[in-house]
Amino acid sequence: MQNGEKRGRDFIAYEYKEVTADPGWVSFFIDGYENFGWKVDENVRQDYPEPAAPGAVRKKNVIRLKRDRKIINKTELTRLQRNFEACVEEIGHLEKEKTSLPTIAAVSVGIAGTAFMAASTFAVTASPPHIVLCVILAVPGFLGWILPYFLYRKGVRRQTRKLAPMIEEKYDEICEICEKGSKLLN
């Protein structure tokens, strides 16, 4: 160095964070965390595979972030970040809730149908065979095997209608939190 010149840039100490996300949420998380001073760490290779086909096992993506340790308003940004993470977690729970109740109802009806079919089978294999009882028990058995599909679809639609306003409310809350964080950075 000559005459007090500096080579390169000033020293910056970073703190690091890893966030695990479903493939469809990677962009959402990157955009959200930027409002709290986090940036994607360019020094680490980020692999974001394409979302898996329906029914395939979905791998979680790891997002590696960094931010300046001496960032202004760090305490308030951290508090807002925790609120952001809590809202995202609540959205995840609400999304799962869309299918959990319908799944329970469909499985319960399917099990009841299977019980009727088992009773029908025992009725026909008894000695002497009770054919009439077998037919009477087979009808609810078949219905118990057919209805779960329709029950599930109707239940998911109903839960989606019921939970959509709450999910939208959480997204609005996330937008407000991110806006506050962004204002603190500027």
The whole-number pLDDT of residue 179 equals 94
CB-based contact 33:26 (threshold 8 Å): no
Model pLDDT, residue 186: 79
**Predicted local distance difference test score (pLDDT) of residue 6:** 46
The pLDDT value recorded for residue 116 is: 96
Which stretches of the chain score pLDDT less than 70? Answer: 1-9, 46-58
CA atoms within 13 A on the CB side of 134: 11
pLDDT at res. 5: 46
Model confidence, pTM? 0.75
pLDDT at 10: 77
